[in-house]
Structure 1
Amino acid sequence: MKALTFKRYGKSPEIGFSELPRPTLKDDELLVQVHAAGVNPIDNMIPTGLFKAVVKFQFPATLGSDLAGVVVEVGRRVTRFKPGDAVFASSFDLGTGSLAEYAVVPERAAALKPANLDFVQAASVPMVGLTSWQALNERMRLQAKQKVFIPAGSGGIGSFAIQLAKILGAQVGTTTSSGNVEWVRSLGADEVVDYKKQDFAQELRDYDAVLGTLRGEELEKAVGILKPGGTMVSLVGPLDPAFARARGLNALFGFVFGLMSRTIRRLAKKRGVRYGFLFARADGEQLAQIGELLRSERIRPVIDKVFPFEQAKEALDYLAQGRAKGKVVVRMR
Structure 2
Amino acid sequence: MKAAQIQKYAKSLDVQINEIPKPEPTANEVLIQVKYAAVNPLDLMNIDGSVKLIQSYSMPLTLGNEVSGVVAAVGAQVSRFHVGDQVYSRLPLNKIGGFAEYVAVDQAAIWFIPQHLSLKQAAAVPLTGLTAYQGLTEELQIKPGQTLFIPGGSGSFGQMAVPLAKQMGINVIVSGNALAKARIMALGATRYLDYRKEDFWTVLDPVDAIIDTRGAKALPLEMGVLKPGGRLLSLIAGPNKQFAVARNLPFWKTLLFGLAGYRFDRLARQHHSLYRFILVRADGRQLQQITSIVETNHIVPAIDARVFDLDHINDALQLVAHGRLTGKVVVAL
Alpha-carbon distance in 2 for matches of 1:330, 1:158? 21
Give the letter for the 2:125 counterpart: V
Once the 2 structures are TM-superposed, how far is the Cα of residue 122 of structure 1 from its aligned partner? Answer: 1.0
The verdict on how the C-alpha distance between 1:271 and 1:221 changes in structure 2, with shifts beyond 3 A counting, is same
Worse overlay, 75-84 or 293-302: 293-302
> What does the per-residue CA deviation read over 1:255-311, in whole Å, with 9 as the maximum and x for residues that have no partner?
211111111111211212111111111000111111112222343322233513233
Alpha-carbon distance in 2 for matches of 1:117, 1:110? 16
Give the letter for the 2:209 counterpart: A
Could you say what the CA RMSD is over the residues aligned between the two structures, in angstroms? 1.7
Alpha-carbon distance in 2 for matches of 1:226, 1:294? 29
Give the letter for the 2:195 counterpart: Y
Q: Which runs of 4+ in 1 moved over 4 A?
A: none
The verdict on how the C-alpha distance between 1:231 and 1:132 changes in structure 2, with shifts beyond 3 A counting, is same
2:298 aligned with 1:301: no
Alpha-carbon distance in 1 for matches of 2:6, 2:205? 43
Structure 1 segment 1-333 matched on structure 2, within 5 A: 1-12=1-12, 14-309=14-309, 310-321=311-322, 323-332=324-333
Once the 2 structures are TM-superposed, how far is the Cα of residue 13 of structure 1 from its aligned partner? Answer: 5.8
> What does the per-residue CA deviation read over 1:131-175, in whole Å, with 9 as the maximum and x for residues that have no partner?
011111222232232110112222111221112112222221122
Once the 2 structures are TM-superposed, how far is the Cα of residue 29 of structure 1 from its aligned partner? Answer: 0.8
> What does the per-residue CA deviation read over 1:19-56, in whole Å, with 9 as the maximum and x for residues that have no partner?
11111222211110001111111111111111112223
Once the 2 structures are TM-superposed, how far is the Cα of residue 92 of structure 1 from its aligned partner? Answer: 4.6
Alpha-carbon distance in 1 for matches of 2:248, 2:323? 33
Worse overlay, 152-161 or 303-312: 303-312
The answer as to whether partners of 2:117 and 2:300 remain within 8 angstroms in 1 is no
Give the letter for the 1:156 counterpart: S
> What does the per-residue CA deviation read over 1:229-279, in whole Å, with 9 as the maximum and x for residues that have no partner?
111111113211122223332222112111111111112112121111111
The answer as to whether partners of 2:204 and 2:225 remain within 8 angstroms in 1 is yes
Once the 2 structures are TM-superposed, how far is the Cα of residue 198 of structure 1 from its aligned partner? Answer: 3.1
Q: TM-score, normalised by structure 2?
A: 0.94
The answer as to whether partners of 2:128 and 2:156 remain within 8 angstroms in 1 is yes
| Unaligned stretches of 5+ residues in structure 1 | none
Give the letter for the 1:296 counterpart: T
Once the 2 structures are TM-superposed, how far is the Cα of residue 180 of structure 1 from its aligned partner? Answer: 2.7
Worse overlay, 315-324 or 116-125: 315-324
The answer as to whether partners of 1:96 and 1:104 remain within 8 angstroms in 2 is no
Worse overlay, 124-133 or 207-216: 207-216
> What does the per-residue CA deviation read over 1:164-204, in whole Å, with 9 as the maximum and x for residues that have no partner?
11222222112212333333323322332222333222222
Alpha-carbon distance in 1 for matches of 2:294, 2:11? 39
Once the 2 structures are TM-superposed, how far is the Cα of residue 326 of structure 1 from its aligned partner? Answer: 2.9
Give the letter for the 1:313 counterpart: N
- Partner SS for 2:25: coil
| Unaligned stretches of 5+ residues in structure 2 | none
Kindly, what percent of the aligned residue pairs are identical? 38
Give the letter for the 1:279 counterpart: L
Q: TM-score, normalised by structure 1?
A: 0.94
